[in-house]
Amino acid sequence: MRPELLYQLKFISDLAEGPGGLPLFVLSDIERPENEPPRYRSRLCTWDGGLKFLTQGEAKSPKWKGGYIYFTRKVDKASQLFRLPLSGGEPEQITKAAGRGLSYEPSPDGKSVALLSRGDYQAPKPDEPKVYTNWPYKFDGRGLLPARPRGLWLFSDAEPRLLAEGPEDIEELAWLPDSSGIVYVAPGSAKEKWSWLQRAYQVDLSGNKRELFGGIGPITGLEAEPAGKGLVYLAHAHEHGGGTELSLYYRPFGGEPLRLAEGSFRNSLNSDCRYGGYFQNPRFAPDGTVHLVATQQGVARLLRVTLSGEVEAVSAPDQSVAAFAFPGADPYLLCESFTSAPRLFKGAELLYDPNPDELGVMAAPQTISWTSPQGHTVSGWALLPEGAGPHPVVLYIHGGPHTAFGSALVHEFQCYRQAGLAVLYSNPRGSTGYGQAFANLNHRWGQDDEADLMGFLDYALATLPLDASRVGVAGGSYGGFMTNWLCARFPGRFRAAVTDRSICNWTSFFGASDIGPRFTYLELGAAPWQDPEVLWQKSPLRLAHQVKTPTLVVHSEQDHRCPVDQGETWYTVLLHQGVDAEFLRVPDEGHELSRSGRPDRRVRRLEAYLDWWERHLR
């Protein structure tokens, strides 16, 4: 298992309902043209007793209604909508919008398509100075944002027409079952967008709109009841800051909402073996129940929820659900595990594995549970290399912090194992899947999570064949923050560190990150002009003079989530303090480099990690 195996992998994604009770999905592989960088190739497929390609050109986000299969494809760097007639023939391009960020939903009767788009907005030329009066003015993976907000457009075999537009981007939509109107989500003002507050609106096909509810927190996953009596959706009101778990609601039109369930909804497990889109939001099944994905103790399960609030897990306990769809009575699933990337299932039956030979037999980790002095359990895993040991070991910390490790393949960890390294990874407090109280760090970054990580590490070193004198630490995003923090808090404890897309200075993060103000306030309860001492107290930079650990700093130059100045600052401070430090800067990539960056850059990143561990842990 080497980094370059990535070039051989295939990724199945974008599972959706297709005609004839069959699924639609996208299969992506990696092309390596001569004299050009490697690139992803995504094609539309179905499964009818065997794999069948429906396009040879690029296709993403497929949806079927009436006599057409719709999908998106980039044309001159802008996403455009195409439709493929079921009667045969070539795909037809039906939008020509200049802007990026197209998303869409065909109407239930198949006569119209609702589009979220900026229309023919022409962005300023890249070399022109730009004036901004809003925030955020940039976003990770998208760069500098257009001045025009994303509106709701309607296409019905003519030029798309604008149906609704607000002061900020419209972010989600759902058709009413009779195709008479659309429900959508958007902030009511710029300040609401800053604070991650959203509202739900209803608009008819003449453009008459009314507000339904909202203004107290995020709203997502809208789905209209097939009988047309109400909506299901996910929402919360920031009751527990950044760690607030979502609730599933059913709201009758004109009535009060009923909370059906609360949990870590969606698959929040870390993996570097997915590419594309994965639907996990509420969806009505043919039997009238609501299905959605929730992360529970390291496994993402498909839940079946009745409108009276009865909840049942209906997927296998040893497989995580990455996506689901209902082309017929039984769901099709994309499932993953500790040893497999997403594969296509119908119920419990495996239909298609895109990587039977490339991944082969992966090593499974050993489960570890550590009970803290406070009485809570920290769950985790150890992936051990072959041989008796004692093995050098890397403590790997997930991002978020409100995500989790669990039953999902991490190619990077398998590379470490092949190189003779053990990997320890766990879900400390702040992680998802263990209840609201566990997910809520209550502004205690670097305290509760630190205690759990170090306690788990000490327990594993005492009970497994690991070499306590050769311990490394690594992580990305929040995991990078904790890597910086632990190296500063425990000088000399770690023989080596890799800090990836990290945070070291909360004050600069507040203004430079695309989510800085709201994330900082929700997670730490502070702003630079109100509680500057809190932000400094929680910044690893404050303790950088204590760091002794040789550190590889990895950061992408176009990372707008944890901007590159965080990596630049940490590297510069360590270097000037005499710490053995190196800086891997990756051009033209953002926060998602390790998961969806250009393939050769992903491989280069993994090679840099392995080289660093070889020099300092072997």
* Residue 404 DSSP class: B
- Is pLDDT above 70 for 7? yes
On whether the 373-504+539-616 domain is CATH 3.40.50.1820, my answer is yes
The stretch 326-340 carries a mean pLDDT of 97
pLDDT category, 360, cuts 50, 70, 90?
A: confident
Chain-wide mean pLDDT for the chain? 96
83-352 maps to CATH 2.140.10.30: yes
Residue 161 pairs in a beta bridge with 154
pLDDT at 98: 64
Enumerate residues 6+ apart whose C-beta is below 8 A from 461: 393, 468, 471
Residues 260 and 309 sit within 8 Å (Cβ to Cβ) = yes
Q: pLDDT by residue (tens digit) across 95-151?
A: 987 666 689 999 999 999 999 998 877 777 778 898 999 899 999 998 998 888 999
Q: What is the pLDDT of residue 78?
A: 86
The residues spanned by each domain of the chain are 83-352, 373-504+539-616
- Cβ atoms of 487 and 549 within 8 Å: the answer is yes
Cβ atoms within 10 Å of 440's Cβ, excluding its own: 20
Instruction: Report yes or no: 156 and 169 within 8 Å, Cβ to Cβ.
Output: no
* Nearest Cα residue to 93 out of 102, 80, 104, 103: 80
pLDDT of residue 100: 63
pTM above 0.95? yes
Element (DSSP H or E) covering residue 105: strand 103-106
In this prediction, residue 203 carries a pLDDT of: 98
Residue 563 has pLDDT above 70, yes or no: yes
